[in-house]
Structure 1
């Protein structure tokens, strides 16, 4: 048996421990804060380019060395309001969707009906979902935020009055508190809602 002098044991143990730690980080695919990518407005979707949205993305997203942004083709700019309007933005890392922001035109319906549909998949029956002042109704949790805003009155589009439903879903979160995440998701939702309201040619005030 080979004996190791005591004076060398501590450095060897530290080296082995450090090697194991590096191996764990590498195998698990976790990025450290030092190599985290920074989201810039030039890289983000059209609906999430405001300063407030970029700040929120950089805080709410989990650590990754690279992010990519995909959005619907810009058929998102009709000449006038249409009931087929929609706009989507997806934030990815590798093949994983980290966050989505979606807006779509829909026939005006009672806000309670809209709320039940939008938040039906939130865990624990909608725990931690609370309101915020925006549009007809604004709601947020640390994993999802949404706002229901007026768009066109009856008579402008066949079928009645129309509203915009704007929803931001966070699939993977950064290392921040629930309160900060909720705040960030509201910022992203309002950015996406303002963009959708303008690009869809709404004629009613958004009330945001």
Structure 2
């Protein structure tokens, strides 16, 4: 009678155990088979602008989570003499805040002054340590974790205090798998998209200088 080698039995047992483990983890969506949530264009914040453009940008910068939620808050400008406009979008997933986007109407100021101010609005100082300029608005800066654009809005004489601009920013609080260059590019697209929305809703009359 031919006997089965003990090592062979151990190998077969290990394979069976591994198959059972894989089946259980997949069934209960445990790592590495965690269910991946979808970022649907119809669910993103309206203040992020074109839904399809915003969703595509978010897919490139956000980490994979089982689900995503979007909380939007927009305070519209009532007429051309009003100096108030604000919006904010909070993106969460996996019990964590993933990204925050903000826009507000404010008096125009020098590029250096505005840049220093907007950097201070970031919750994490590290997000703004590698900011470099790009072409958009009157002034624009971005890193792989933070982006901001100072967009011309209301010309002098239309409201008290002279020209007003829109300050539009987005901070990535939890990074995805994209490299720094790709994440920066996606954040810039997201900020330009949000700036276009804010420009229209804030009843602006100056060229936003956002490019293509």
Establish whether TM, by shorter chain, passes 0.5: yes
The answer for the alignment partner of 1:80 in structure 2 is 80
Deviations 1:179-203 (A, max 9, x none): 1000100010001100001101111
The answer for the alignment partner of 2:45 in structure 1 is 45
Q: Distance in 1 between matches of 2:188 and 2:158?
A: 30
Deviations 1:79-116 (A, max 9, x none): 33522210111111144210111000111111111111
Q: How does 1:148-167 map to 2 (within 5 A)?
A: 148-167=150-169
Q: How does 1:168-207 map to 2 (within 5 A)?
A: 168-207=170-209
Q: Distance in 2 between matches of 1:49 and 1:204?
A: 19
Quick check: 2:92–2:99 contact (8 Å CA) kept in 1? yes
Q: Computing the radius of gyration over CA atoms, which structure comes out larger, 1 or 2? A: 2
SS at match of 1:180: helix
SS at match of 2:171: strand
Describe the shift of the 1:124–1:87 C-alpha distance in structure 2 as closer, same or farther (beyond 3 A): closer
The answer for the alignment partner of 1:102 in structure 2 is 102
User: Which ranges of structure 1 fall in alignment gaps of 5 or more residues?
Assistant: none
How far has the Cα of 1:145 moved from its partner? 0.6
Q: Distance in 2 between matches of 1:99 and 1:124?
A: 12
The answer for the alignment partner of 2:7 in structure 1 is 6
Quick check: 1:145–1:186 contact (8 Å CA) kept in 2? yes
SS at match of 1:187: helix
Q: How does 1:51-62 map to 2 (within 5 A)?
A: 51-62=52-63
Deviations 1:130-179 (A, max 9, x none): 11110001111000011001111222222222111000100011111101
Describe the shift of the 1:144–1:156 C-alpha distance in structure 2 as closer, same or farther (beyond 3 A): same
The answer for the alignment partner of 1:123 in structure 2 is 126
The answer for the alignment partner of 2:64 in structure 1 is 63
Quick check: 1:90–1:97 contact (8 Å CA) kept in 2? yes
Alignment RMSD, CA only? 2.6
The counterpart of 1:140, out of the listed 137, 142, 146, is 142
